[in-house]
Structure 1
Amino acid sequence: MEDLILYTNPMSRGRIARWMLEEVGVPYRREVLTFGGTVKSPDYRRTNPMGKVPTLIHGRKIVTECAAVCAYLADAFPQAGLAPPPAERADYYRWLFFAAGPLEAAVTNRALGVKVPEDRRQMVGYGSYENVMDTLEAALSGKTYIATERFTAADVYVGSHLMWGLQFGSIDKRPAFEAYVEHLHSRPAHLRAAELDDADMQELQAS
């Protein structure tokens, strides 16, 4: 098996990638980078020129961007059952990249106080924050998982956005969102990943 290495920081989107790795259930090594320090080092930027985390190394392959990491791992390790069969991936791709595009952009702009004028909404991919929330709420209402009848990599990615947003107030608390993340919180892989990341955070704070 080719080596798997995750470059991450426990206060970053790297938590999404680690959860996904724990769901996959294969051995990997993690390298914790520091903001303003090793994440901007010339050595690391030869791997990820953006100087950001996470970055996944799989043998000679380099994967950045959390949605891509989730999709890549689901395909690279099909035995984990984290992607639907190719002919059944329409909703899987739809919601995985809805979260990577409209959801993240809308939440980030709102957190930054960016208000898109109503007559300019056609210029942004998400239209309005309210429209994004209403669309996601409708997709999750009465469902356990976002894309299929079983858990997939799309749930890792969408669920991570909702968990973070509900915790820090950047996403509205709606019953459909809270019911969805409550179920995901109890997944053994999520609990393991959170414990590992929290331990890394304590180590960083103590150093």
Structure 2
Amino acid sequence: MHPRRSPTLALALALVLPALAGCDFFKELQSEPGAEAGDTDTDTDTGDSDTGDEPCTNLDDYCADQDTLRTCDPESGALVTLDCASLCGASSQLNFSCIPAEDIHACWCVTPGQYKLKSCSELEQCVVACGDPGSDCSQNCFTDTTYQTVRLLGSLYHCADTSCDDICKEFPSDCGSCMQAALAGVWGDCGLERSVCDADQNDEPTWP
């Protein structure tokens, strides 16, 4: 295993979620045989990699969109493109979103349920209250709602990451507060995602 922090990650949204313990719910480079060193310039089921004149660093990591992770392989010095949906799907899970971690980005894999007992905002509150994304508590939040709701909240998280990416790289100490503001819809361009999430309702408006 190369010396990246994953699989023990701590989210850059540390003020939004407490530090997380390493677990299978976060998928990134070293767990994928298609992204190992020596596979540069080769497409795989989960991604491909680019080799530039200069080796990449962790600062080059970013989420291109909700389902696409661009991450640096320190062994090859290549920037690798990974498909979060494929990574999560390999373990029969759903990609919640590509998200920022302490010094890299990663895919957050979850298992949604069949019934929408939680709306988007209720899911958000549940995940924050649980803290550790790898805990049964956190996973139960996702099983209490559907694929569509999981993806809806994931789009808000991705928007917050995009809005705060430069700040998190240049001013790490301000990253958490930026993420909080972006998730609240008062920073960046996440107002639409925030309002859509807030307007979402569970299948039983009187629940619980």
After TM superposition, is the score higher than 0.5? no
Q: Which has the higher contact order (CA 8 A, sep 6+)?
A: 1
**TM-score (normalised: structure 1):** 0.29
